[in-house]
Structure 1
Amino acid sequence: MTLLASRDEADRTAPPARGTPADPRWVRPSLAALLLATAVLYLWNLGESGWANAFYSAAAQAGSLSWKALFFGSSDAANAITVDKTPAALWVMSLSARLFGVNAWSVLVPQALMGVGSVAVLYAAVRRTSGPAAGLLAGTVLALTPAAALMFRFNNPDALLVLLLTAGAYCVVRALEKASPRWLALAGVAVGFGFLAKMLQAFLVLPAFGIAYLIAAPTSLGKRLLHLLGALGATLISAGWYLAVVALWPAADRPYIGGSQENSLWELAFGYNGLGRITGDEVGSVGGSPNGGWGGTGWDRLFGNEMAGGIAWLLPAAAVALAAGLWFTRRAPRTDGGRAALILWGGWFVVTAVVFSYMGGIIHAYYTIALAPAVAALVGIAGTQLWRARGNPAAAGTLSAGIGLTALTAYLLLARQSDRLPGFAIAVLVAGLLCAFLVFFASRLPDVARRLVALGALVTVLAGTGVYTVATAATPHSGALPSAGPDTGRGMRMGGGGLLGTSLPGDELAALIRRDSANYTWAAATVGSNNAAGYQLGSGAPVMAVGGFNGTDPAPTLEQFQEHVRKGRIHYFLGEGMMMRGETGSDAAERIAAWVADTYEPTTVDGVTVYDLSR
């Protein structure tokens, strides 16, 4: 981003030529320290979260026992139904469980390592266009984003998604250097496998990747279009092979596709987990408002009480960074690497933020981790470049404004936690405004004072998000809907569970489920995947999740369930069959629960209603 470089300064932190390995001696120790600190932050006391999201932990347990369950992402080793996602993240967890046993660490550590890898890959991507200082700042911001600390210490698919998309962005940066179709195709492969982690959400980065290459690749327009076509083919192949295999596999010889109404992975990918998330028309969904909504939509959604703590700390700074960077590089050559990087990361940031702000379907606060790499890259790139150009009043004023705006944002967010952090919010605001003032005049200060101002501004900018990130990492999180911040974990319960809660069986119930379990395909059945997950993890025996995650999938039907019972495949039915149901989806689970209650005598074990289907 040469247009931002001040004429009177060629300091040692200026970026090297793209692709060159020449870095100052302080870079490698600094990077090693960053990665080590990130590993400590994401791994420390990780086991306190237990099974975290038991829904995925149970599927990892199933995959550790059955290769078919691993391949399809089944909820249980007997392969009744899959989770409601494509299973790439489960492949990693299941293999880890096969190697190290089924326990909290084997399930959660892979995600923490993905977090360290994401920081490293983001550093590498930003460094190639903007230098090692920018890369280190970007990596630090990513590591200290609360939503990142939450998800890299949890076992949802988001950790793998972010790692793959960040790797895809790195590949695009490499492709832009010499108009490399190979690197661009690798970016497509990374996004395609991101689809296998969390379906269509992975494709939100494609407009940014494509536009950056189309504008800035150093080759003719025809070749740029041809390269993009090849990369799109690589994306479709790396994402579509799995959909094709599942579609061609005989339905009777595989588990039911959870989250779909027609036992179709295509329906799941492009309906419930696809366009339905945008429109709110998600057949089988429950929760949200009565008309299917999930909270108010609008430009300020990411600053609302639910989502702000995870991601909002540097959102205004990222917006300022993007606008300023594009303005200062408006006269740069078409192939300018700095501007191409801004288009790449800025496009990722804008498209994802707009979709999250206005989507009408299911959305949860932890989704915002998908914004973290783009926000971090923009702050790293523009922050270091504006500092280098501080002799320019426009650059100094923009950097000063960004610091002040970040301090104000941190104050507003920390004020919501004033009972936990008394006085800290005001301290951050005052320090931030002071640093913003001093930064504007930094070019006139002596070297030592200037360095102190830079250090103070950096600490102030990261103070709010850093404290909130540490609080997030220090809090155990479990359940289906974790949130960033202190004391927001949702613990697993003993006894009855629910749609979004997970039930752990007491000792007596766990022993009952295990009793003679080898003589049955499923030791027990219960409505809803979270209920089934707790019983399965607590007993170690396969438990059928009737109706899938929401209890609204037609799997099994009443007739199929009755056939399983007649053939002695299911031992117990657990719970009263109470569930939440939306206005759409199958009522098969309700019918099964009603039939069981009408046909069998109930008993109560550890507070849970139990029906013995073998009688």
Structure 2
Amino acid sequence: MTVLADRSASNSPSAASRRRTGEPRWVRPAVLGLLFATAVLYIWGLGASGWANAFYSAAAQAGGESWKAWFFGSSDPSNAITVDKPPAALWVMGLSVRLFGLSSWSVLVPQALMGVGSVGVLYATVRRVSGPGAGLLAGAVLALTPVAALMFRFNNPDALLVLLLVVAAYGTVRAIEKASPKWLMLAGVAIGFGFLAKMLQAFLVLPGFALAYLIAAPTSLGKRFQHSLAALGAVIVSAGWYIAVVELWPASSRPFIGGSQSNSILELTLGYNGFGRITGDEVGSLGGAQSSGSWARLFGSEMAGGIAWLLPAAALALCALIWLTWRAPRTDATRASAIAWGGWLIITGGVFSFMSGIIHPYYTVALAPAVAALAGMGATRLWRLRSHPIAAGLLSSGIALTALTAYLVLGDWQPWLKYTVLLIGLAGAALILVADRLPVTAARGVATVALVASLAGSGAYTAATAATEHTGAIPAAGPSGSAFGGFGGGMPGGAPGGGQGGFPGGGGRGGGIGSLLTTSTPSEALTSLLRTTSAGYTWAAATVGSNPAASYQLAADVPVMAVGGFNGTDPAPTLAQFQDYVKQGKIHYFIGTGSQMRSSSGSDDAQEIADWVAATFTATTVGGATVYDLTS
């Protein structure tokens, strides 16, 4: 280990970060090629997914029409209720809609550009520590992770969250280099705005980043703690200003906070989108708590196709990097970076594995940057040390693990590919053991074979993901209709809950068109009715659930009230408030629900409203939908 540590020191990250001017000529074209290829992958054919998640597309539409709706993240431009997330991602989409008009492209392209930005910033972060080769490999791994291609071609908040967290990692690495409080505070600001994209999930990276800085920053322990406290202050300010504004804003002049039961963003933060996700105690969710999970959840059939491909190799790389730098100086940047990325991977992966609340496979996109960074750093470091049997053995093991993982995850999809990847991967792993005794050209050929084998499975699955239309509340990586094998044939701890929060198929409150978790195109007759007869009304129509409301609103381009919010379990509006709106002539139509279901958690106001409308007004059928004229 002493020999390995000494040789590792000669490739110290600080030295790599200082060799900017002496980099080979191929670096810049390679980086530009990576970013261009990523852009093509994430943007090509993007419009095929239509509105993707109509829940957020309708909110972007609302933000494009009303600045109040834009600021609060309202579901409709008349500001009945917000989405059940903070609005940072909607701010980007809403501005895009204002600039370019409402279309699937104006809604989805910002996320694709965030993906390109994430790859670029990840390259820059890893490059500072391990050189351009490691940075390029890390960027390629991120770009070719199926769940990344899924979410960077979709309009959920996860795309912005990932970009901001990678920016925070870059700031942390820069801060560690020279004990810079400014860079550390910049990292804190990025994490704070990540909170405004997806609340407490953004904070899962904090322990790893803080530990890396406290261990490795080249200054006294007292100053390291001072800098860390200043960065924590930056997190609190950049995240807390919005919470404070919403809490202090008079409730009567803003929309109801969706996902809460008391019209409180603090409740949303700490409950439904906070600790409730871990414990399963989420008031307003239509699904109950899941049973205890395990680390195997990430390799189950629900999640494996999105993230599992290089997960074992990344774990092996983390252990190798820590071992290689065990005797290095305290300020060793490679070890610090491994701690930062490893903390990100272990804590976020652990929460996803064991949480009992709502979880969906696409959440794992938050693991992709850490997996990519560790794989890039570990592979290049071990390749440099391949003349040592232990380093060669670790690198060979990582390649073999990746090939075996791809074989298992590919399952019944393209059987020829899984066998090809396995055979080439195992061959590459064996050749790695003797690569140091081969001529330079032959050794490079071995590295190429190993790289292709390691990325072929995930690359093919990523291409299939990008070529597949994805709509609705619960997108999944992979080709349409495929059943990826996973490691256990199912996700331990039960299937994930539905939508932004809810239970799959539980459409009792959904009514109109489809369940609460799906949207479909309303008939031309209904769209025309809403569009042409609703001038002068605050809401052209109301219906239970945000997804059905989004379908009508996007099709007719008129405000539609989402009664009860996403799950139909929010007390917004109450029956008395709805009756008052009807009395004042603010709502023209009510589009009926398909069936009845009362929640064991949350409010029943939405069902009471539907019952009152059905008992009070005459039902008509328009384009297959049950419609009540509330003005008759």
For 1:425-504, what aligned pairs fall within 5 Å after superposition? 425-487=418-480, 496-504=513-521
Following the alignment from structure 1 to structure 2, what is the Cα–Cα distance between the partners of residues 581 and 384? 56
Distance in 1 of aligned mates of 2:622 and 2:591: 10
**Alignment correspondent of 1:316:** 312
5 Å matches for 1:400-411? 400-411=396-407
Corresponding residue of 2:367: 371
Q: Per-residue deviation at 1:2? A: 11
Quick one: distance in 1 between partners of 2:6 and 2:209?
30
Q: After alignment, is 473-482 or 509-518 more displaced?
A: 509-518
Q: Is the contact made by 1:550 and 1:581 (CA closer than 8 Å) also made in structure 2?
A: no
In 1, are the aligned partners of 2:184 and 2:228 still within 8 Å (CA)?
Answer: yes
CA distance in 1, matches of 2:458, 2:356: 28
Matches of residues 95-494 of structure 1 in structure 2 within 5 Å?
95-287=95-287, 291-293=288-290, 297-415=293-411, 418=412, 420-487=413-480
Residues 258 and 565, structure 2, Cα contact 8 Å, conserved in 1: yes
Give the secondary structure class of the aligned counterpart of 2:626: strand
- CA shift, 1:581, in A, is 5.0
Deviation at 1:446, TM superposition (A): 1.2
Structure-1 residue corresponding to 2:570: 553
Deviation at 1:248, TM superposition (A): 0.6
User: In 2, are the aligned partners of 1:61 and 1:102 still within 8 Å (CA)?
Assistant: yes
Deviation, 1:503, is 3.2
Deviation at residue 423 of structure 1 after TM alignment: 1.6
Letter aligned with residue 390 of structure 2: A
Alignment CA distance shift 1:147-1:607 (3 Å): same
- 1:509-528, aligned counterparts within 5 Å? 509-528=526-545
Question: How big is the shift at 1:576?
Answer: 2.5
Q: Distance in 1 between matches of 2:233 and 2:9?
A: 45
1:575 deviates by 2.0
Q: Point out the more displaced range, 537-546 or 577-586.
A: 577-586
Tell me: CA distance 1:27–1:4, structure 2 relative to 1, closer, same or farther (3 Å). farther
Shift of 1:515: 2.5
Matched residue count: 605
Deviation at 1:328, TM superposition (A): 1.2
Shift of residue 505, structure 1, vs aligned partner: 1.3
**Is the contact between residue 539 and residue 586 of structure 2 (CA under 8 Å) also seen in structure 1?**
yes
Deviation at 1:3, TM superposition (A): 7.1
Q: Cα distance, 1:552 vs. partner?
A: 0.1
Q: Deviations over 1:550-588 (max 9, x none)?
A: 000000000000000000000000023636554200000
Check 1:540–1:340 CA distance in 2 against 1; reply closer, same or farther (3 A cut). Answer: same
One-letter identity of the residue aligned with 2:610? A
CA RMSD of aligned residues (A): 2.0
- Cα distance, 1:345–1:10 mapped onto 2, change above 3 Å: closer
- In structure 1, the gaps of 5 or more residues are none
Distance 2:471 2:3 in 1: 48
> How far apart, CA to CA, are the structure 2 residues paired with 1:524 and 1:497?
17
Q: 1:579 to 1:508 in 2, by over 3 A?
A: same
Q: Which residue of 1 aligns with 2:56?
A: 56
1:218-260 deviation per Cα after TM superposition (whole angstroms, max 9, x unaligned): 0000000000000000000000000000011000000000000
Task: Output the CA distance in 2 between the equivalents of 1:8 and 1:121.
Answer: 25
User: Secondary structure, in 3 states, of the residue corresponding to 2:566?
Assistant: coil
- Measured in 2, the distance between the counterparts of 1:240 and 1:258 equals 18
1:10 and 1:431 map into 2 onto residues whose CA distance is 32
SS in 1 for 2:562: strand
- Preserved contact between residue 314 and residue 374 of structure 2 (Cα < 8 Å): yes
Deviation at 1:137, TM superposition (A): 0.2
The residue type paired with residue 475 of structure 2 is: P
Q: In 1, Cα distance between the equivalents of 2:353 and 2:596? A: 30
User: Cα offset for 1:358?
Assistant: 0.1
Structure 1 length as normaliser, TM-score? Answer: 0.96
Q: 1:431 to 1:9 in 2, by over 3 A?
A: farther
CA distance in 2, matches of 1:519, 1:528: 23
2:20 aligns with 21
Give, as a single letter, the amino acid of the residue that structure 2 aligns with 1:292. Answer: A
Gaps spanning 5+ residues in structure 2: where?
Answer: 483-498, 500-509
Structure 2: distance between partners of 1:579 and 1:379: 50
